[in-house]
Structure 1
């Protein structure tokens, strides 16, 4: 394991140095990157099981496993980091264990009889007509990756600035808080995607439109409440993470941008969920490329480096990109012909579900 970590360090360290990152930041990031490999690998199975269960409204098992994972994560982190003083290795080890627990739990639930109507065991029919599924999966992956990389670029650009360590500490705190709130929005994203897909599959464009309105408005209300809360808290919330007065002051300076990020996050992920439910992932991927990488990042670089707004300038530019994306997704959702989407969805069902069901019946008759 030590050799693998050293190899990872040698791989990422020069890349980060080439991108202009400070030596301590590049060294630390190169070491931590190794620990993310098994953690990220778990997501391949996690999201597959999660969406499979959510499509059947079996959210309770996901919630129970998430609660168990969280409790064990806290306990292991306390033991490994505080009691055994293992530092980053302890923190990352506890995270890896916590991320794999829901995967193993969902696998046991599905294969152990928790989904008797939809799980009939492993079958070669799973490989039937894979290309349309792969195409949708690739477009979904592109859509999500472009969003995740967008926030990563914000940290990367910040690492090139003066007093980078304080700036990155403050930005990391803000992004952690933003990530907490984003978990709420992702819940609405999943609800929107599953609900819209189910309504389209059932042939009801009216119910699909109603579901979109309800989920977006509910998420927006939550976002507005959190927007006001974080405007009032400002830098005080940073004391949860640090005792450094310099970092707390930097967080207080960034808090208005954090509040606006939280507000936009209450709408944008939900609209992405609607796109997933309607099979419009490819279109959203193009929207993300344009708004994030042709609008947000160039504006952020201009405001941060050329005009001299530093971290705030980068974040403002990227917020503008997110705002443009939210507007475009809202317009696409408003202009979408949902009756036409019903026809397309039912065509997919006839192509995938009915042949698979016939194949299972044939297997049963042969047995």
Structure 2
């Protein structure tokens, strides 16, 4: 009798313990992932088509009963392009695309790519270097951390060209023109006589249409889905270079609530998202130019694609002020700005890049 009672008690205890473990393991994490920009843009689209399903797949493979319940809010549903950082920082979204090119005040040292143009058109190299530097450079890691964010993966864009109402056939043609450019990218117009107008892919169409600006320095993969070629049909290929513009990040508090193994998955998939973005951009770039030429041929003001001559491009490269040295000096009190430029340029050369201007040698 005593033995049977003991067995019943032991069995009951075991079942209770199993139930408790199961209840603990079957945990659902509710996460919001968002962006100011639409999914038509590669760095946003891959958040939905690659990052979310791959995280789900790997979390399920843990076999611990974990589940993520996603709320996806892209295209400015939660916030606009001027709030990409604060929205992740404050937890408006748990995960989001942070456009640090518009955040020079909060992330000054992360602007190193903007002050070193004319390096390479291969965005895969740019993103590889950016991911490496964000993992290994304490000052860059600190910029994400102090803004209550965990860096997941670098985002970038294909090489920059000019998209304007009227033709640009020489560097001198920029003088006096109002050219839209987001944040620190407006620095590339210094020395040209052009007037930079702050904006982004979500505002260029209206800005050019209404005369706020006369064109933009931008990217083919962004101009195409936003149909900006309709109001800026003159495409002048300059090849200012691909650019690291920000990254996908997670609110630090939200990240801290995840189990360590899920945190690792989020970070690992973040890097894979970044690598996939580089490959996607390289594939879409030429296609975007071709499509704009084909579709734009039917417009009342047809799309024309011309290349800025090597001589005129060289004038732009040489006439541009010493952006990197000016930036390093201005940000010396905020961290090792000069060393970051040197590390960046060195990393590019290690990967076979031959910059049109050796910014680090002018510091």
**Is this a same-fold pair by TM over 0.5?**
no
TM-score by length of 1: 0.21
Q: Which has the larger radius of gyration?
A: 2
Higher RCO (C-alpha 8 Å, min separation 6): 2
More strand by percentage: 2
Scaled by the length of structure 2, what TM-score is found? 0.21
